[in-house]
C-alpha cells in the first residue's frame, strides 16, 4: 500500500490574491486524499500524474514517480565472481590469485560494485545482495562453515 502523502492544513476562509493557485491547491489536496487509500496504485508501477494545472500562463505537473528498485543493480560477470568470493569470506589477495588478476584490480572492481550498489563496505554489499536475492545458496556459505 502506498504511503499517503503528508498534507498541510489549508484555510479556505482566508481571501487569497491568486484564485488559480487556490484552485490548484484544492485540486491537489483532493487528489492526495483520494489516492491515499487507493491500493491500485503501485509504488513500482508507471508514473502517475497527480495534478495538471495552468497558473498564470504556465503549466505545472505534479507527478508521482515509481520507486527505484534496488534489484536493478547490473553486475558484470567478473564483478559477480568477485561478489561471490567476497560473500564466501575470501580476502582480495586470494580473489586475485584465483581469478589471475592483481589485487589492485580486485580493489577497483570492489569500488565500482560499491558505487553501483550504493554501499560502503563488503558486509553491506553482501547484505544488500542477500536482501534482493542475488546470491545463490552456494555463494552464501563462508569457508569456515564447510
**90-130: pLDDT as tens digits:** 999 999 999 999 999 999 999 999 999 989 999 999 998 88
Which of 43, 67, 91 delimits the end of a domain?
A: 67
User: Do residue 99 and residue 77 come from a single domain?
Assistant: yes
Same domain assignment for residues 141 and 81:
yes
Same domain, 24 and 46: yes
Domain count within the chain? 2
Supply the pTM of this predicted model: 0.49
Query: Do residues 87 and 138 make contact, with C-beta atoms less than 8 angstroms apart?
Result: no
Q: Which of 30, 50, 67 is the last residue of a domain?
A: 67
What proportion of the chain, given as a percentage, has pLDDT over 70?
Answer: 60
pLDDT, one tens digit per residue, over 41-69 is: 455 566 777 777 787 888 877 777 766 55
Task: Tell me: do 96 and 138 sit in the same domain.
Answer: yes
Reported for 71-77, long-range contacts at CB under 8 A and 24+ positions apart, including other chains, are 71/132, 71/133, 71/134, 73/116, 73/117, 73/128, 73/132, 73/134, 74/116, 75/113, 75/116, 75/134
Is the same domain home to 62 and 1?
Answer: yes
Q: How far is CA 37 from the centre of its chain?
A: 23
For residue 15, the enclosing domain spans: 1-67
Q: Are residues 83 and 124 in the same domain?
A: yes
| Domain end call among 15, 38, 67 | 67
Amino acid at each position: 500500500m502506498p504511503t499517503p502523502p503528508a498534507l498541510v492544513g489549508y484555510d479556505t476562509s482566508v481571501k487569497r490574491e491568486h484564485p488559480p493557485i487556490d484552485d490548484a491547491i484544492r485540486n491537489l489536496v483532493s487528489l492526495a486524499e483520494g489516492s491515499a487509500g487507493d491500493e491500485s496504485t503501485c509504488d513500482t508501477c508507471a508514473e502517475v500524474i497527480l495534478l495538471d494545472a495552468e497558473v498564470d500562463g504556465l503549466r505545472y505537473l505534479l507527478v508521482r514517480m515509481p520507486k527505484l528498485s534496488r534489484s536493478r543493480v547490473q553486475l558484470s560477470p567478473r564483478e559477480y565472481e568477485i561478489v561471490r568470493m567476497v560473500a564466501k569470506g575470501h580476502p582480495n589477495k586470494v580473489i586475485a590469485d584465483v581469478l589471475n588478476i592483481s589485487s589492485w584490480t580486485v580493489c577497483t572492481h570492489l569500488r565500482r560494485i560499491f558505487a553501483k550498489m550504493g554501499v560502503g563496505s563488503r558486509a553491506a554489499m553482501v547484505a544488500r545482495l542477500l536482501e534482493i536475492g542475488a546470491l545463490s545458496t552456494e555463494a552464501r556459505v563462508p569457508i569456515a562453515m564447510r
